[in-house]
A and B are shown apart, each in its own frame.
Chain A
Amino acid sequence: MMELFDIFASAGLWAAVLRIATPLIFGTLGALLCERAGVLNLGIEGIMTFGAMIGWLTVYQGGDLWAGLLAAALFGGLFGLLHAVLTVPFGLSQHVTGLGITLFASSLSYYVFRLAVPVASSPPTIEPFQPLRIPLLSDLPLLGPALFNQTAPTYLAIAAALILSYILFRTPLGLAVRMTGENPHGAEAQGVNPVAIRFGAIITGSALMGVGGSFLTLSAFNSFFPTMVQGRGWVCIALVVFASWRPGRALFGALLFALFDAYQLRLQTVVGKAVPYQVFLMIPYILSIAALAVMARRARVPQALMQAYRRGER
């Protein structure tokens, strides 16, 4: 029985938590930014897949790791642009458009991947990001290896959460985004252009989603396979609600989910003989639903979420 708790004392667990959380942090921040401007972006699952593919492919074709990350952001932004065009000026259903983009982007990533890489018995690999040891801090017991021996994108994810939080709550731009998500007509009446704000938020948010996906191939693993995002995008959508649309809480939520996930991985090895491992695979999702049920009841949804904005119409 003690073994169940011993897991928490291992630095390996905590290091894994941050690693698992990184794509979720990027994805959640991206979805959160879109929703703060009033647009649900269910394209996330596909955009993350495409980000994973294009990031990997860039590096495989001889590009720099950072170029891979940038390519993922760029193509994420392009899918965001598509989503924005369809949902903002055309005012199409955000659900349907988002799901369409997910299907489109997922299939397109596999297609492009197959064009570039012929079928091989074992998938080709790249040299991924290496952990950056932060001097002195990484020597701290337990915390050191967990927090200060991660790859660069992980640090970037944490920074992104802090920066997004600052932008949303401390700058006029963030206020304009929040106002647009609450009441685009009101925003317009005060001289803010809600269409421009929504475009900007969706494109930027989708770029973050792309970066989140690319972490999977550029840091967590070193090769691409089409099913690798495995519903992380949907987890991010839930995490946004869990976080009550706040970047700080999104960071916390992503870490919490990652903790459940890292814990169950280790649990599999400890008690895996007695219970089929699929049971443990469910644990993070069950705990997430429970946490969501507790947290989201008090959540304050952006009032104009999923509402198309048409000028001069109420």
Chain B
Amino acid sequence: MTASPVLELRNITKSFGDTLANESVSVALARGEVLALLGENGAGKTTLMSILFGHYTPDSGTVHVEGRELPHGKPRAAIRAGVGMVHQHFSLAANLTVLENVMTGTESLLRVKSDTRAARARLAEVSERFGLIVDPDARVGDLSVGEQQRVEILKALYNDARILILDEPTAVLTNIEAEMLFRTLRDMARQGLSLIFISHKLHEVLAAADRIVVLRGGKVVAERRAAETSKEELAELMVGRRVARPRRETATPGETVLEARNVRVSSAGGKGLSQVDFSLRAGEMLGIIGVSGNGQTALAHLVSGLVRHEEGDLILFGEPVRDPSVRAFIEAGVGRVPEDRNTEGAIGDMTIWENAVLERIWSPAFSRHGMIDRGAARQFAAEVIEAFDVRGGTPDKRIRLLSGGNMQKLILGRNLHEQPKILIAAQPTRGLDEGAIAAVHTRLLEARKSGAGVLLISEDLDEVLQLADRIQAIVKGRLSPPVAAEEADARMLGLMMAGDWQQTARDTGRGFDAV
């Protein structure tokens, strides 16, 4: 770099309790540059950016913007210095309009009247310049996630941000939205803005960044130019060892454990299911692929005993299910990894041991005469933590303090520890980093190997192709006939996900009846 950096973090150290989140981290950003901060969840990326923006005060170290040191712990000072931050969880007000969200804090609180007209004109000008078009009068809660992110970026630009920090900007976006975002980011860099974005997705940092700084365990472990590195190298730098997602080995499935025949579920709010047929055998993994919002939630609920089907038959271990209940399913040996681990999978403010036994609290192993056997429950939680490598977990810690990957390992663990006969895994790796994904995949394959029938509901093509024995696509609440994984490829699955499976059969010259 020839010119002096626009932003410089020098020797930042920050600890929370006895965890060291950042250890002597130094990063510099040049004008017009897109810098990616790559690291696994818990590597200290977000903490570092929160220090830069003044949300946290570092234990030591300094932040310099254009040569001037910023005071710690003052977001306002960061804004004034031209730093804008786009948070992972948007800091927007759902009930206010786009314009109101953008204007907040930009005028003196003592003004007798907001200058809405000037603000509107300025917003129009900024959104025009960067191609970020949003209706200024729309209520933010009515916008799509991609549009909300645009508002979040506009907010920073409106405040004259010359340095923009984006925390996991694609975590909530669809692939198309993510591509649009990266085009916008490149465009902004070309117009002289400097950007840092935080990510744990390898293809993203390679596609969008000029330079990549890799963080691991709170320290900078490497720095690479995007043009001079590769996915493999970055993966190894990020995780600290070689990671490879496991692949399934061939196996002979046993008898059918779960079967749906012409099942219909009409669910209030959200997509239902109609004419759903599938069968799941012991020791096999059935992959359900589809763009989310096509009935996956209803399907996961159906096979967990959460909703009742109105038509057709659901057959569990040879017995038709007449009066579904969650408890009956659990007692029959159905384990579940819910789609949204934060709302359905775990109760954040309860401890790890409570979460570990919650699904089976009535079991004699954990309660006697209506009293919880805390000793046994803690013991169980400790075993799960140990066996499933839940890092940073102790039985008495609140579960929300775990990272997404470790929380997911705990959820998997509490199910698999009991050797379920069926495992329902709905979007099990959503939002997880590479290391955690490999761990989850390994566990799912182990469950299959030990004879469980695994129903994998996912929108990740690679995941389904690598793990599942047979694959069905879910489109608008209907399931395609199954195809064997050996016969399927990404293109074929793509066509199936688009909905016309007869057409797919014709295009690919393959029939579905073979399976």
Query: A residues touching B (Cβ–Cβ < 8 Å)?
Result: 170-173, 175-176, 178-179, 182-183, 185-192, 300, 302-303, 311-312, 314
Does B92 interact with chain A (Cβ within 8 Å)? yes
User: Do A191 and B95 form a contact, CB below 8 Å, given A170-B114, A171-B112, A314-B89?
Assistant: no
Q: How far, in Å, is A172 (CB) from chain B's closest CB?
A: 4
Please, which residue of chain A has its CB at the minimum distance from the CB of B84?
A: A189
The answer to whether B50 touches A183 (Cβ under 8 A) is: no
Least distance between B245 CB and chain A CB atoms (Å): 30
Q: List B contacts of A189 (CB < 8 A).
A: 53, 55, 75, 85, 87, 91
Q: Which residue of A lies closest to B140 (CB)?
A: A182
Contact B76 A191 (CB under 8 A): yes
Q: A178 near B105 (CB under 8 angstroms)?
A: no
Q: With A172-B114, A178-B96, A312-B50 in contact, is A185–B105 under 8 Å at CB?
A: no
Q: List 25 A-B contacts (CB under 8 A).
A: A170-B113, A171-B111, A175-B104, A176-B104, A178-B96, A179-B96, A179-B104, A182-B94, A183-B91, A183-B93, A183-B94, A186-B101, A186-B104, A187-B104, A188-B55, A189-B87, A189-B91, A190-B75, A190-B155, A191-B76, A192-B109, A300-B95, A300-B141, A311-B55, A312-B50
Nearest CB of A to B440, in Å: 24
Q: Which of B31-54 contact A (CB under 8 A)?
A: 50, 53
CA distance A274 to B281 in the complex (A): 75
User: Within the assembled complex, what's the spacing in Å between the Cα atoms of A186 and B156?
Assistant: 12
CB < 8 Å neighbour of B92 from A173, A186, A300? A186
Chain B facing A: main interface SS = loop
A190 touches B93 (CB 8 A): no
Alpha-carbon distance between A311 and B101 when the two chains are bound, in angstroms: 20
A-B pair count, CB < 8 Å, reads 86
**Shortest Cβ distance from residue A313 to the other chain B in the assembled complex, whole angstroms:** 10
Chain A CB within 8 A of B459 CB = no
Q: Which residues of A contact B104 (CB under 8 A)?
A: 175-176, 179, 186-187, 190, 192
* B100 in contact (CB, < 8 A): yes
Given contacts A175-B104, A189-B75, A191-B76, contact A183 B92 (CB under 8 A): yes
- Least CB separation from A313: chain B residue: B55
Check B100 against A185 for contact (C-beta < 8 Å): no
Q: Which of B50, B79, B90, B105 has the most CB of A within 10 A?
A: B105
Given contacts A172-B107, A172-B111, A173-B109, contact A186 B95 (CB under 8 A): no
* B110 in contact (CB, < 8 A): yes
Give the CA-CA distance A44 to B76 in the complex, in Å.
34
Indicate if B56 sits at the interface (CB-CB under 8 A).
Answer: yes
The answer to whether A190 touches B105 (Cβ under 8 A) is: yes
| In the bound complex, CA of A300 to CA of B140 (Å) | 13
Quick check: A312 and B55 within 8 Å, CB to CB? yes
Q: What residues of B have a CB within 8 angstroms of the CB of A178 in the complex?
A: 93, 95-96, 100
| Interfacial residues of chain B within 69-107, with CB under 8 A of chain A in the complex | 75-76, 79, 85, 87, 89-96, 100-101, 103-107
Say yes or no: A176-B50 contact (C-beta < 8 A), given A189-B87, A302-B95: no
From residue A184, how far is it (CB to closest CB) to chain B in Å? 9
Q: Which of B131-175 contact A (CB under 8 A)?
A: 141, 155, 159
Contacts of A170 in B (CB 8 A): 113-114
Are the C-beta atoms of A175 and B114 separated by less than 8 Å? yes
Please name the residue on chain A nearest to B80 by beta carbon: A191
Q: Which residue of A lies closest to B112 (CB)?
A: A171
User: B252 an interface residue at 8 Å Cβ cutoff?
Assistant: no
Cβ of A192 to closest chain B Cβ, rounded Å: 5
Bound Cα distance A310, B79 (Å)? 21
Is B105 a contact of A191 with CB atoms below 8 Å? yes
